[in-house]
């Protein structure tokens, strides 16, 4: 696919998927003196050597957000597995974009995206867990978590954060046709277990501008393994994700191996939660298999993940 043009900007915006090709301009000055006597070297002063320009040591806005003191050492330690810089650059997220992040949870990615967007006047829409569904206890828990999340980002360095929700019963993620980018990180298996994965893709397509980007990161199930419709292991077939996105109206742009981990077989006693950072050692009934070696799973590292970019076709 060639370069994709995004729609014009609005209250919630998307603009072209930018692919920047560095250009190097070379010039040469050729001196010809055919038939002319040479000027003695002693009479020709040597040109002054121009001062050497050193590269700027100032961090880019994205690098600054990733290195920020607001991120804990534990968060930064996971950069080696989650690759926030490479991932956001792959999705084409820019500092003046309007970005919808689905189910930000504790805010690991929010701590990168929010200050990055703040640096360029962009806006983040945090589509949180829906506090309006479920029993009374669940609603209370989600309301408490949401209030804590909002308090954590009530600081100018995080810029403007708007809030919405996503669930099987939720309304629009944001104003229709106005988002530049919609992002989800390792959430599809949760929605598969709840039976509303298709709704996510439909809602995302409705939220985006024509030309807007959908970025998906998810635990990857090998193509030779059987897909559980509820994704009980936490792993999902890449082709299944592509089929759902295309059914909702998206066009597949590109896949990246930024977040791949060849050491992960996706065949673990407690699914993806056997691996870091959860490091599960028991099932829900408290059982641990004979011979279980937690150290072996810790050595594998975090899961093998697909990283997929889709685009909402231009009108």
Averaged in consecutive runs of 10 residues, what is the pLDDT profile of the chain (315 residues)?
42 38 36 36 44 63 97 97 98 98 97 98 98 96 97 95 98 98 98 97 98 98 96 97 98 98 97 97 94 96 98 92
Residue 315 CB burial class (10 angstroms; 0-12, 13-18, ≥19): exposed
Angle of helix 110-118 versus helix 84-91 axis, rounded to 10:
60
| pLDDT score at 270 | 97
- Under DSSP, the state recorded for 258 is T
| pLDDT score at 58 | 79
Q: Hey, how many other C-beta atoms are within 10 angstroms of the C-beta on 217?
A: 24
Task: Give the DSSP H/E element, type plus range, for residue 256.
Answer: strand 251-256
Give the Cα separation of 46 and 48 in Å (integer).
6
| Measured torsion, CA atoms of residues 144, 149, 152, 158, in degrees rounded to the nearest 10 | -150
Give the Cα separation of 41 and 254 in Å (integer).
59
Give the Cα separation of 261 and 300 in Å (integer).
8
| pLDDT score at 315 | 74
As given in the structure block, the two tokens for residue 267 are: 């065949």
| pLDDT score at 51 | 53
| pLDDT score at 57 | 64
48-61 residues labelled b (16+ CB within 10 A) or e (exposed): eeeeeeeeeeeeeb
Angle at 149 between CA 143 and CA 150, to 5 degrees: 90
Find the length of the chain: 315
Give the Cα separation of 315 and 299 in Å (integer).
48
| pLDDT score at 160 | 86
| pLDDT score at 287 | 94
Which domains, from first to last, does the chain contain? 58-262+303-311 (3.40.50.150)
| pLDDT score at 175 | 98
């Amino acid at each position: 696919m060639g370069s994709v043009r995004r729609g014009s900007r609005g209250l919630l915006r998307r603009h072209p998927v930018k692919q920047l090709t560095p250009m190097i301009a070379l010039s040469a000055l050729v001196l010809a003196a055919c038939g002319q006597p040479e000027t003695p070297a002693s009479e020709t002063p040597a040109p002054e050597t121009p001062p050497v320009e050193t590269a700027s040591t100032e961090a880019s806005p994205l690098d600054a957000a990733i290195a920020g003191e607001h991120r804990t050492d534990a968060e930064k330690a996971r950069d080696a597995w989650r690759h926030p810089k490479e991932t956001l650059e792959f999705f084409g997220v820019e500092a003046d974009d309007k970005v919808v992040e689905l189910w930000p949870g504790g805010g690991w990615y929010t701590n990168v995206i929010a200050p990055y967007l703040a640096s360029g006047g962009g806006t983040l829409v945090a589509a949180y867990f829906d506090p309006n569904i479920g029993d009374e206890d669940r609603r209370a828990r989600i309301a408490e978590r949401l209030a804590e999340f909002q308090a954590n980002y009530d600081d100018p360095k995080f810029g403007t954060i708007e809030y919405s929700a996503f669930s099987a019963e939720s309304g629009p993620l944001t104003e229709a046709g106005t988002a530049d980018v919609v992002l989800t990180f390792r959430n599809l298996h949760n929605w598969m277990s709840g039976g509303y994965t298709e709704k996510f893709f439909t809602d995302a397509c409705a939220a985006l501008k024509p030309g807007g980007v959908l970025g998906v990161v998810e635990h990857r199930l090998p193509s030779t393994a059987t897909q559980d419709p509820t994704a009980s292991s936490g792993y999902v077939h890449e082709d299944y994700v592509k089929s759902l996105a295309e059914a909702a109206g998206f066009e597949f742009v590109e896949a990246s191996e930024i977040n791949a981990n060849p050491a992960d077989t996706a065949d673990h006693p407690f699914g993806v939660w056997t691996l870091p950072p959860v490091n599960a050692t028991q099932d829900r009934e408290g059982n641990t298999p004979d011979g279980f070696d937690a150290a072996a799973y810790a050595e594998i590292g975090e899961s093998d993940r697909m990283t997929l970019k889709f685009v909402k076709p231009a009108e």
